[in-house]
Amino acid sequence: MTKIILFIFLLGSVFFSKAQSVLDTIDTDKGKMIIYSNRTWEYINDHDFDGILNDRLYSIISSDTTLNFIQSWDNEVCYTSDRTNDLGRLRDTIWLCLNEDKDDGFHIPFNGNVTSRYGFRKGRYHNGIDIALNIGDTVRAAWSGKVRYAKFNEGGFGNLVIIRHYNGLESFYAHLSKHLCAPNQDVKAGDPIGLGGNTGHSFGAHLHFELRFYDAPMNPEEVIDFDKYACKDQNLMLHKGLFRPGAKPSDFGEHGESTTATIRPVVKPVYKYYKVKPGDTLSAIATRNRTTISKICQLNGIKQTTALQIGRNLRVK
């Protein structure tokens, strides 16, 4: 017993920068897992992980001393380079295989309607794709990889998961209601990583999905056919033109029209909200808005026993 306590104490000292203290250690088929007091965890062999999942791409980028790109492994920050990497400085085209040997193919994060595309929107650039879903719907990993970030993000993403993939990309899954994964966890394509939500800077439940290469956003429709729920091609040729703000996919015309096939148009969601008044009950609100109590609870991520706060806006449609 004394040896176990001493072992846990030593682990807490070694990994003090990760958490305040170690609660427990567990032996798993992947090795020894450390449980921290803040409910995070990691495998001992992950502690010194350098973040490199694709040696070929890392060699190409690091060998070009004019780029000075940064891509560390940090579970606490959203952008590991603080967005200093300028992909417009790329001089050569880099081949990226979307389905590396370690991958298990591609899986659509969620098969809902696209409600907003990559590009200029409301005075700023929208760096991803918005997909309609309901609170509680399961969101899945697009490719296999390792979870780099899984926490609430104060910058507007709300509950956010970031996965670094073997193919060299990082994928962002924002506005979740719940995390179903933890930092440093290995995931396979299609694994559940979170539940759909409306957290952060979000007006209605949806999934904000981004693809980034060395912190720089690229149009997800360059890679994914959101109409067919599939990868367009397992080969992606990376060049500086892909990282222009608002860049259209290479098989889209100047104004965003498809030059190869008819794509599913953006479907604007129709949301309806009700502001809670004194004396309101879920039953009365449901009847007034021709819906059900269970539907209201599902749309707002609440229970039938949740106390209604006067002035709260409840989504009823």
Token readout for 114 is 């696209």
Partnered with residue 314 across adjacent β-strands are 274
Across the range 150-167, mean pLDDT stands at 95
- Which backbone phi and psi does 105 adopt, to 5 degrees? 80, -160
For residues 133 and 31, membership in a common domain is answered with: no
For residues 160 and 114, membership in a common domain is answered with: yes
Confirm if 162 and 185 have CB atoms less than 8 A apart.
Answer: no
For residues 25 and 136, membership in a common domain is answered with: no
For residues 58 and 179, membership in a common domain is answered with: yes
Q: How high is the mean pLDDT of the chain?
A: 82
Comparison of pLDDT for 308 and 6, the residue scoring more: 308
Q: What is the pLDDT of residues 105-116, one digit of tens each?
A: 899 999 999 999
Best CA proximity match to 107, nearest among 139, 147, 138, 143: 143
Query: What is the b/e burial string over 188-208, where b = at least 16 CB atoms within 10 angstroms of the residue's CB?
Result: ebbbebbbbbbbbebebbbbb
Quick one: pLDDT band at residue 170, thresholds 50, 70, 90? Answer: very high
What percentage of the chain reaches a pLDDT higher than 70? Answer: 76
For residues 190 and 176, membership in a common domain is answered with: yes
Quick one: pLDDT band at residue 301, thresholds 50, 70, 90? Answer: confident
Confirm if 265 and 303 have CB atoms less than 8 A apart.
Answer: no
Confirm if 143 and 166 have CB atoms less than 8 A apart.
Answer: yes
CATH of the domain at 213: 2.70.70.10
Token readout for 298 is 């599902």
For residues 282 and 307, membership in a common domain is answered with: yes
For residues 228 and 311, membership in a common domain is answered with: no
In the chain, how many domains are there?
A: 3
For residues 76 and 225, membership in a common domain is answered with: yes
pTM of the complete model = 0.71
Quick one: pLDDT band at residue 268, thresholds 50, 70, 90? Answer: low
CATH of the domain at 297: 3.10.350.10
For residues 72 and 197, membership in a common domain is answered with: yes
For residues 210 and 311, membership in a common domain is answered with: no
pLDDT surpassing 90 at residue 169: yes
Domain span holding position 299: 273-315
Tokens 């050569």 -> residue:
92
Quick one: pLDDT band at residue 307, thresholds 50, 70, 90? Answer: confident
261 class by beta-carbon count within 10 Å (0-12 exposed, 13-18 middle, 19+ buried): exposed
For residues 26 and 149, membership in a common domain is answered with: no
For residues 78 and 194, membership in a common domain is answered with: yes
